[in-house]
A and B are shown apart, each in its own frame.
Chain A
Amino acid sequence: MTSQPTHWFEEHTGEVQLHLVAPTLGQLFEEAAKALSELMVEQLAEDPAPSVELVKLSAPDREALLVEWLNELIFRSETQQKIYGEARILRLSDTELEAEIRGKTPERLGTAVKAATYHRLKIVSQENGYAAKVILDV
């Protein structure tokens, strides 16, 4: 069993390829939020009262749901001027997601992320949990 969810960014000439590993699918989605925020912000501001927001999404399959999830976080980051590195998945199936996210104010921004893509997108179940690859347009 994978003990802790983790992520890393793999080489890609033009964009950023995000690799995620987690013991459960819910943790995989939570880790995706953490990874995205790590990319988008260099430093967070002191934020005594982060916003708490509810997200509800649906998609035809779990890969598309991961893309929807990342794109929702990108949309909210840009329109709310917040970074959503902390997420708690409340409900998750292959086609639906409900989560609580906490938005913090960025002090210094990092890499601009335009969107998550379907290119070479994959979520695989493995003995110790789940692994996913998703390419982000930056």
Chain B
Amino acid sequence: MEMPELKQVSEVVYELGRDFRPDMHVPLRVFADAQLLGQLKRDHSLGQLVNVCTLPGITHYALGMPDMHEGYGFPVGGVAGTLLPDGAISPGGIGFDINCGVRLLASSLRFPDVESQLPTLVHELSRNIPTGYGRHGRLSLSRDELDRVLNEGCKYIVREKQLGLEEDLERIESQGSLPEADASRVSERAKQRGQDQLGTLGGGNHFMEVQRVDAIFDEPGAKALGLAPEQLTVLIHSGSRGLGHQVCTDYVRLMDQALSGYKISLPDRQLACAPLSSKLGRDYFVAMCAAANFAWANRQVLAQRVRETFSRVLGAGPNSKLSLVYDVAHNIAKVEQFGIQRLCVHRKGATRAFGPSSPDIPAVYRGVGQPVFIPGSMGTASFVLVGTDAARDLSLNSACHGAGRALSRTAAKKEVTGHLLRKELEGRGIIVRCASNTELAEEAPIAYKDVERVVDVVTRAGIAKKVARLVPRGVLKG
């Protein structure tokens, strides 16, 4: 599809009007600077965002975050709100890895005080955390217990399985437990895939990092989040594993077959959707909530394994305490209120970014803003930001979710070998644990956009505020 020039509407916001294609219901807006815009024009992401503009009930704009890149159906880094009660919900607007997300833990330790123990720490983490696809966790759940994880999420894991602290719950998006979840709408096949995967990192771009706080940009914000220079932090990036993948697979198939019944016509089958007011739309929504609960529970178990490892290697006691800063989803649909409108906000590779006045963020972060985590690529910095009140009107309370891919996996492997990359990272003092050199090369820093530039655009657009920069010292790659 031939893409026209986008109209620049402010410093880092570009727009394409709905007159571009007759089936668009709304215009689209992209947050980017000239260089990022040039990068995203090289793949099909803008065309995919145009397709998103055709979703039934879509309102405001289809939005592209600065890390946007080509996906399937929705672009990765795409946001769309549909007006309820009858607006559509599209599993392709959430993705196969439902509630893929990021959790940040902050240690009470300073990095220089434990630097000599880092090799042992990363080695023990790699022994304690199963990585790679299809890997089984140590937590064996009965089918009833799995259903409780799906229905209750982190509340069940913390309160009944005793994995974590009560205070963790407040610092997880939606307390790690979406009440609408209904395990009975999750297929037997999805449950089979997820049965023994709780507490596993998974493959692909999932990872865990031991980091050092390298810079603070906002002192009061950092203090509220419990972050200080030279502090040791741990970042976990994982999702709902095979269970979530199967929920998406199941409902894309069902919705693809039901489209004509709803008289919905779409430019891309992967955008298959149903009105949220329909039985099928509702069934998917409650199944997606269950998969999201599973993902939060997964990151809760992973965090507990990290805490156990820290205690074992660095000694138990208050000095090795790991506090949860926040846990945020970046592949999810949420029902959110915007004035008198109730929207189903799809965030595919995008993070919710509620501002300081939002009543839906933890009490400790009111007046500060909801933490937003932007992990860089392996070996580059990650950023901690907080949402702004302006994000509500600018971006449907959304910000980006990472650096965003710039090169395909094949192209990355042509540019760099896993073996040499491992050496290069270790030469920079970063310890890497990854079983497959192929997968390591696929996630090489060169395959990603410049995270500093992406974060700069988010900040200039006013949708989130920079708080701290974290640099990796140990990486465990899925």
Contact = CB atoms under 8 A, between A and B. Distances in A.
A112 B242 CA distance: 10
Nearest first, the 9 closest Cβ-Cβ pairs linking A and B are A112-B203, A112-B133, A119-B72, A118-B269, A119-B270, A117-B72, A114-B96, A13-B70, A114-B245
Interface in A107-138: 108-115, 117-121, 135, 137-138
Interface stretch (B8-16, B317-325, B336-344, B434-442): B434-442
Q: How large is the interface on A (under 10, 10 to 19, 20 to 34, 35 or more residues)?
A: 35 or more
B140 interface: no
Given A11-B410, A64-B256, A77-B134, A115 B248 contact: yes
Interface of A: 9, 11-16, 42, 60, 64, 67-68, 71, 74-75, 77-79, 81, 108-115, 117-121, 135, 137-138
Given A110-B438, A119-B269, A14 B71 contact: yes
A112 B69 contact: no
A64 B270 CA distance: 11
Contacts of A68: 253
B376 interface: no
Contacts of A113: 133
Which of B132, B192, B409 is packed against the most chain A CB atoms within 10 Å?
B409
Contacts of B246: 75
Contacts of B439: 110-112
Interface of B: 43, 45, 69-73, 76, 92, 95-97, 132-134, 189, 192-193, 202-204, 242, 245-246, 248-249, 252-253, 256-257, 268-270, 272, 405-411, 435-436, 438-439, 442, 478
A111 B409 contact: yes
A78 B438 contact: no
Contact of B436 (A108, A118, A120, A135): A108
B70 A12 contact: yes
Which of A13, A42, A77, A120 is packed against the most chain B CB atoms within 10 Å?
A13
B133 A12 contact: no
B203 A16 contact: no
Which of B69, B92, B204 is packed against the most chain A CB atoms within 10 Å?
B204
Given A13-B408, A75-B246, A109-B132, A138 B204 contact: yes
B203 A14 contact: no
B248 A109 contact: no
B336 to A, nearest CB: 26
A109 B203 contact: yes
Contact of B192 (A11, A15, A79): A79
A74 B252 CA distance: 16
A13 B69 contact: yes
Contact of B409 (A16, A78, A119): A16
Contacts of B405: 13-14
